[in-house]
């Protein structure tokens, strides 16, 4: 009895991409972070999510922009949510 051959899977397109930005409490000791998930569609019809740390894939300008964005969102949340 032989093993079944594994089908050849060729990535054909990127479906959804998800980014998660993390902005910890500025008074705490945690650091900001960013993760990604990219859904890859293969020639077999299979979809696999590739995930990882987004930060190494960003330029310093992009990191600065995201940090500024999260700072603005934090300020908005503090103004609108806190008494």
What is the pLDDT confidence band of residue 57, given thresholds at 50, 70 and 90? very high
pLDDT exceeds cutoff 90 at 24 = yes
Q: How confident is the model over 53-57, as a mean pLDDT?
A: 97
C-alpha 19/C-alpha 65 separation (Å) is 14
Q: Where are the domains of the chain?
A: 11-81
Q: For all residues of the chain together, what is the average pLDDT? A: 96
pLDDT, tens digit, for every residue of 27-50?
999 999 999 999 999 999 999 999
pLDDT of residue 1: 85
């Amino acid at each position: 009895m032989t093993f079944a051959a594994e089908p050849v899977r060729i990535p054909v397109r990127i479906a959804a991409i998800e980014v998660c930005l993390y902005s910890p409490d500025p008074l705490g000791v945690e650091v900001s972070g960013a993760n990604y998930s990219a859904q890859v569609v293969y020639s077999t019809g299979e979809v696999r999510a590739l995930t990882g740390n987004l930060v190494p894939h960003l330029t310093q300008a992009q990191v600065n922009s995201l940090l500024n964005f999260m700072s603005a969102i934090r300020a908005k949340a503090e103004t609108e949510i806190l008494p």
